[in-house]
Amino acid sequence: MAEVTGRIRKFLFFQEFFSSRLYGIGVLDFQRNWSTIRFMSNEQFDDMAVLSTFARLRDEGLLNASDLEALREQLKTSWGRKVFNALRNNTAPKPEDQRLLERFSTAFAA
Amino acid sequence: MAKGRPKRTSMLDRTSEQKQRQGTVQELIEFVLPGARADQCPAWPPDVFAVAATVMKRNGAYVQCVVTGVGSSPAPEPLFESGWPRQATDVGEAWRKSVNETLKTFAGAGKLSIGDALKKTNIPGAVRDAWRIVCDLASISLETSARDRTLIRALIQLSSYADEASYGIGLGKLGGAGDRFGSSATLFLQVNGRRSFCHLVNHQKARVLGKKHTPQQGLTLRSLTHHLSLCMPWEVEPQWYDLDAPRLDDVLNFLLLPWPLEINARDFQCVDDVAEGLGPRDHRLFKYERPPIKAAEFRRRLSAAIDLAVTRVSQLHAVVLPELALTVEEWKLAERIAIDRGVMLISGLIDDVDDSSRLPVNSCRIQMMSLPSAGKHASKLSTAHARPPAYRQAKHHRWCLDRSQVLQYDLGGQLPAALRCWENSHIGRRGIFFAHLGGWLTFSVLICEDLARQDPIADVLRSVGPNLVMALLMDGPQLAARWPARYASVLADDPGTSVLTLTSLGMCRRSKDSGTGKAGSRTIALWKDKLYGTREIELAQGSVGCVLSLGRERREEFTADGRGDGKNTEVPVFSGVFQL
């Protein structure tokens, strides 16, 4: 029984390890780090608010380089900065990020 | 330096010195908005409001916006003529329109930043005139400023114009598509760390946030606006989140789970190692800990409760649990279920830890992102790919169990009734969030003591006046005669907030009635709204929870200077309870 449990744990570890390699850094990675320290901060939540403002300003053609920089300075997580860069370069966010952002703002709704 | 007779000060000099010691309006304006000039009225309405409201908060002059008494002596002339409300609305609308046109013309890629573009705004003459009057008369002392009717009139005018211009600020896209004012407001909000909508006024000097309720009782600075609130930058950090998706309809269904259903006295324990260094033992620290529930069993219970709830209502919007209801591990399981089911999740946590100090902290978490979105992924989030972040808020005041409470909850075998026992919870930086979602709901969450100890949070809470406050408690029965109902009434009266209080059935049943000494009450929640009053919510025998249904009612509120909001105040009201 102990051997079976050990194998399952090993399998789960490898699955988790390789999934991060396959899918790259995304929200999932942030969550992983997060769960290991057992408490959460509001940093990613705050970043979503910043990103939603970015999308709203972009949709209304109000984005200027200095405003863009002012918004970027407010981002607190590497996840937020990566999504921000993707949006700034007109690259579609990863599907899981897109789904999350839609929860915050209709500006992300495709 | 030549010596001589000391220079004698004239009466004029003495008056000037005295005035300086007292502080002048100019000094206050200079503090809030350094470099303010009479010929340079700020173009951004929240900035103008921050200046005018800060002065009025200091001198109390706003009370003169209405004639408050008549008697044998002639009543003072009203500050405003009968057509004032219409005039204020027209000026505010013109200001908003001008800001929108300016931003459309000058702001954007390859053009100016929003801040620079605003400088080109054609500010309505009425606003500029009032601003000039305030600046010209600002050399008077703060004390005498409350008697200068010209100054007071100009301050109230500025406040009201800015208020009318800021319609719907922080409340999604109420200004409609292409409302650049609203978009600019969200930019400034983010740049201010979600603490203020101001552009030129630093959030450490004064904070301006949105607003949901205008008090209809009493006369305070808050009575003067519909859309803008002044929050002084004291110790509480407000955080404003404006989620413009998803949309909520006129019916809200909250699943109330008063868990744990049983609480053992042994779950309360003194924390000896921490209390050692605290000097004489006139108080102790205590902690509440209960045995964790097995993951499979927890998942089964929660899923079953939600399944049961959705047999009664076609759409469930939120699952709410009381203070200290879940462990962090249980929260994670509950969060996954909430995401799968597309419902919001709000709960207090037992074993949370403060980020910076790593000390235990009594906190709550709010998962709002689990609600379905309006986009093409409207169905559900996949928990396999993304778990959205939840918001976390720590408790502001520790629970203190004194003799009467130790007896009330029958904890005398665990905690020393002769000493005051304080909850072992770290108090750090105090914050409160206001989340606007679904197009009409602006809500906050308070944890137990934070509802009762209104200082220091009351000022911010009353200023913003969210239309719903949920108080998560570890308390006895939620009866209309007990303290939660009293404090809920205070918020329902002023600013008009609807309040839900929820405790665990376990704690509710432990509580002994002070008169009869009997325990076993099942009144786990209380609802209070300003339109229909108080409702005690009892959990039926055998039930694991209940669904609280809320409706939305629109009402018109008026400011003290007579401006209505066009029936745009939305009040969540009690619509029913279904036992599960």
Residue A18 in this model has a pLDDT that exceeds 70:
no
Q: Which residues of chain B lie closer than 8 angstroms to A20, CB-CB?
A: none
Please give the average per-residue pLDDT across B61-89, as a whole number: 84
Q: What is the pLDDT of residue A5?
A: 59
Question: Do B212 and B330 fall within a single domain?
Answer: no
Question: Do B286 and B356 fall within a single domain?
Answer: yes
Q: What are the residue ranges of helices labelled H in A1-110? A: 2-23, 27-36, 43-59, 65-72, 78-88, 95-104
Q: Which residue of B has its CA nearest to A47?
A: B190
* ipTM entry: 0.86
Residue B347 lies in a domain: yes
DSSP state of B112: B
> CB under 8 Å, gap of 24 or more: what pairs does B520-525 form?
B521/B476, B521/B477, B521/B479, B522/B477, B523/B477, B523/B478, B523/B479, B524/B256, B524/B258, B524/B477, B524/B478, B525/B256, B525/B258, B525/B478, B525/B500, B525/B501
Between B401 and B21, name the one with better pLDDT: B401
Please give the average per-residue pLDDT across B253-271, as a whole number: 94
Q: What is the pLDDT of residue A55?
A: 87
Confidence of residue A98 (pLDDT cuts 50, 70, 90): confident
Q: Looking at CA atoms only, how far is residue B268 from chain A in angstroms?
A: 23
Q: Which of B115, B178, B368 is closest, CB to CB, to A60?
A: B178
Enumerate residues 6+ apart whose C-beta is below 8 A from B526. B478, B479, B480, B484, B485, B488, B499, B500, B501, B534, B535, B536, B537
Q: What are the residue ranges of helices labelled H in B33-141? A: 45-59, 84-106, 114-118, 125-136
Contact across the interface for A60 and B386, Cβ inside 8 Å: no
Please give the average per-residue pLDDT across A80-106, as a whole number: 83
Question: Do B217 and B252 fall within a single domain?
Answer: no
Contact across the interface for B328 and A45, Cβ inside 8 Å: no
d(CA A3, CA B97): 72
The secondary element (H helix, E strand) that includes residue B183 is helix B180-191
d(CA A68, CA A88): 9
Question: Do B103 and B252 fall within a single domain?
Answer: no
Show the CA angle centred on residue B458, arms to residues B238 and B486, nearest 5°.
140
Please identify, among B202, B233, B264, the residue that sits at the C-terminal boundary of a domain.
Answer: B233
- What is the residue extent of each domain of chain A? 2-36, 43-108
Question: Do B482 and B349 fall within a single domain?
Answer: yes
d(CA B493, CA B486): 11
Structural domain count, chain B: 2
Please give the average per-residue pLDDT across B52-65, as a whole number: 93
Question: What distance lies between CA B64 and its chain's CA centroid?
Answer: 27
Please give the average per-residue pLDDT across B284-294, as a whole number: 92
Q: Which residue of B has its CA nearest to A56?
A: B183
Q: What is the pLDDT of residue B499?
A: 97
Question: Do B204 and B297 fall within a single domain?
Answer: no
Residue B562 lies in a domain: yes
Question: Do B296 and B217 fall within a single domain?
Answer: no
Q: Which of A46, A50, A99 is closest, CB to CB, to B386?
A: A99
Confidence of residue B356 (pLDDT cuts 50, 70, 90): confident
Contact across the interface for B245 and A99, Cβ inside 8 Å: no
Q: Looking at CA atoms only, how far is residue A102 from chain B in angstroms?
A: 6
Please give the average per-residue pLDDT across B185-195, as a whole number: 95
Question: Do B260 and B145 fall within a single domain?
Answer: no
Question: Do B151 and B288 fall within a single domain?
Answer: no
> Where do we find the tokens 């109390």?
B60
Tens-place pLDDT, residues B439-496: 889 999 999 989 988 788 888 999 999 999 999 999 999 999 999 999 999 999 999 9
Check which CATH number belongs to the domain holding B254 and give it.
3.60.110.10
Q: Which residue of A has its CA nearest to B356?
A: A41
Tokens of B565: 């909001």
d(CA B426, CA B444): 21
Q: Which residues of chain A lie closer than 8 angstroms to B173, CB-CB?
A: 106
Please identify, among B200, B233, B266, the residue that sits at the C-terminal boundary of a domain.
Answer: B233
Confidence of residue B249 (pLDDT cuts 50, 70, 90): confident
Residue B241 lies in a domain: no
Which of A62-66, B243-247, B271-275 tops mean pLDDT?
A62-66
Residue B40 lies in a domain: yes
Please give the average per-residue pLDDT across B414-441, as a whole number: 89
Contact across the interface for B190 and A60, Cβ inside 8 Å: no
Q: Where are the beta strands (DSSP E) in B302-343?
A: 318-320
Q: Which of A98, A103, A106 is closest, CB to CB, to B388?
A: A103
Question: Do B253 and B318 fall within a single domain?
Answer: yes
Tokens of B185: 């407001």
Q: Which residue of B has its CA nearest to A55?
A: B183
Q: Looking at CA atoms only, how far is residue B116 from chain A in angstroms?
A: 10
Question: Do B46 and B145 fall within a single domain?
Answer: yes
C-alpha pair distances (Å), B571 with each of B43, B213, B214, B244, B319: 33, 9, 12, 19, 20
Q: Which of B107, B242, B385 is closest, CB to CB, to A62?
A: B107
Q: Which of A35, A62, A105 is closest, CB to CB, to B245?
A: A105
d(CA B493, CA B362): 29
Residue B230 in this model has a pLDDT that exceeds 60:
yes
Show the CA angle centred on residue B248, arms to residues B243 and B251, nearest 5°.
150
Q: Is the pTM of this model over 0.80?
A: yes
Between B489 and A14, name the one with better pLDDT: B489
Q: What is the pLDDT of residue B7?
A: 56
| Mean pLDDT rounded to a whole number for chain B | 89
Contact across the interface for A95 and B355, Cβ inside 8 Å: no
Residue B573 in this model has a pLDDT that exceeds 80:
yes
> Where do we find the tokens 């449990």?
A5
The mean-pLDDT minimum among B20-34, B163-177, B255-269, B474-488 falls in B163-177
Q: Which residues of chain A lie closer than 8 angstroms to B180, CB-CB?
A: 60, 62
Range of the domain at B326: 247-579
Q: Which residues of chain B lie closer than 8 angstroms to A27, CB-CB?
A: 386-388
Question: Do B225 and B252 fall within a single domain?
Answer: no
Residue B238 lies in a domain: no
